[in-house]
A and B are shown apart, each in its own frame.
Chain A
Amino acid sequence: MTASIDMVLIVDLVLLTLLCLTALAIMLVRHLFAVVALTGAFSLLSAGLLVTLDAVDVAFTEAAVGAGISTVLMLGTLALTKRREARSPKLSPIGLIIIFSTGATLIYATPDMPKFGAVDSPGLVHIVPSYIEGSENDIAVPNIVTAILASYRGYDTLGEVAVIFTAGMGVIILLGRRREDEYGYSEESAAFPLRPETSNDEEGKDKS
């Protein structure tokens, strides 16, 4: 028993360390292509952590959306802008104070949280027992997450799908126009100028 707990602890520690290192690298690296790749790695590590927490459904989503599709979308955005971040902003003392006090508050509050997986934690006593019973007897679906998402919380999921629908429609209407010249791109048809002529000059200035 203790051996298995230690294994989980080791995996958690390794993943968290890698997560912190990735976050630091994202902060320090100025090459945006590398930053995008690192955020993909960050998502993949988060997915690993979610697997160790037995939240496989969330891990799935994190791996597919976080590491996969949003990386591709960020690369697509990168193609529209410059590859390098402008000079890094200076450290602002107010920002540092806010970040450290928030972090300290969160760490201070953590021990008050119910123990991980405790049966009597407030989140698990209210309505969850009836969900667990119901999804075994009435719905007869082994994956309780699906039973709750699709049946008990069907309204919420309908709302979520409506949100995705609305987001997709917004993007299609705003950005989804077909390209027009032989590459498919014409400056006049674009909603915003993508590659202004001055961009080369600005790059020259950055280097000097």
Chain B
Amino acid sequence: MRHHLVLRVVSKMLIPFILLFGLYVQFHGDFGPGGGFQAGVIFAAAFILYALVFGDDQARKVVPDKALILLVPLGLLIYALTGFAGILLGGKFLDYDVLSSDPTHGQHLGILVIELGVGITVTAVMISIFRAYAGRTKAIDKEDW
């Protein structure tokens, strides 16, 4: 993709906004449309766009495989541990009421944390799946397309 100047410039300008929009969808999910799944996919789309335009190797420098393999279970762990936190604080599994002195605030906190967990896992899984596919092929010659 060394020759595609326009693509490179446009993606460089777009990627920060995609990431910002992903964060907005993530943390504004309880007020507007969105949530962890959508945010995770949007976030992953930004990284995949980067990998498509600047190459797989460059993208691996931004998010190394080792970090990715840690992030995949981290999100699920955050979600499950939030559930167990509910038990430890005297409620039931995934009962957010007890997470804070005020039940409504506890619900907000619980939703925020588990959505973050969902977002982390979805982002990491999407990027991993893309890498697993992209890593299988040689860089494609221009004539091949």
Question: Do B130 and A69 touch (CB < 8 A)?
Answer: yes
Question: Do A73 and B131 touch (CB < 8 A)?
Answer: no
Partner of A155, one of B30, B35, B94, B103: B94
**Measured between C-beta atoms, what is the minimum distance from B75 to chain A in Å?**
7
Render B61-94 as a binary contact track against A, CB cut-off 8 A, 1 for contact: 0000100010011011001100100000000011
Most buried by B among A69, A151, A157, A161: A161
Q: A-side binding surface: helix, strand, loop or mixed?
A: helix
**A-B pairs under 8 A by CB, number:** 163
- What is the CA–CA distance of A190 and B111 in the complex, to the nearest angstrom? 42
Q: Is A77 an interface residue (CB 8 A)?
A: yes
Interface-located stretch among A22-30, A101-109, A164-172: A164-172
Q: Is A128 an interface residue (CB 8 A)?
A: no
Taking residues whose C-beta sits less than 8 angstroms from the other chain, chain B's interface range is 35 or more
Q: B-side binding surface: helix, strand, loop or mixed?
A: helix
Interface residues of A in 55-74 (CB under 8 A from B): 56-57, 60-61, 64-65, 68-69, 72-73
Question: Do B118 and A146 touch (CB < 8 A)?
Answer: no
Interface-located stretch among A9-17, A37-45, A118-126, A174-182: A174-182
**Measured between C-beta atoms, what is the minimum distance from A190 to chain B in Å?**
7
Interface residues of B in 12-44 (CB under 8 A from A): 25, 29-35, 37-38, 41-42, 44
Partner of A150, one of B33, B76, B110, B129: B110
Question: Do B48 and A165 touch (CB < 8 A)?
Answer: no
Q: Is B10 an interface residue (CB 8 A)?
A: no
Partner of B35, one of A57, A65, A165: A57
Render B120-145 as a binary contact track against A, CB cut-off 8 A, 1 for contact: 01101110111111111111100001
Q: Is B11 an interface residue (CB 8 A)?
A: no
Q: Is A158 an interface residue (CB 8 A)?
A: yes
Please give, as numbers and ranges, the residues of chain B lying within 8 Å of A68 by CB-CB distance.
41, 45, 48
- What is the CA–CA distance of A179 and B126 in the complex, to the nearest angstrom? 19
Interface residues of A in 149-208 (CB under 8 A from B): 149-151, 154-155, 157-158, 160-162, 164-165, 167-169, 171-172, 174-179, 183-185, 190, 194
In addition to A146-B35, A161-B122, A184-B57, 6 A-B residue pairs with Cβ atoms within 8 Å of each other are A143-B31, A143-B33, A151-B111, A155-B93, A175-B133, A177-B135
Binding site for A on B (CB under 8 A): 25, 29-35, 37-38, 41-42, 44-45, 48, 52, 56-57, 65, 69, 72-73, 75-76, 79-80, 83, 93-94, 96, 103-104, 107-108, 110-111, 114-115, 117-118, 121-122, 124-126, 128-140, 145
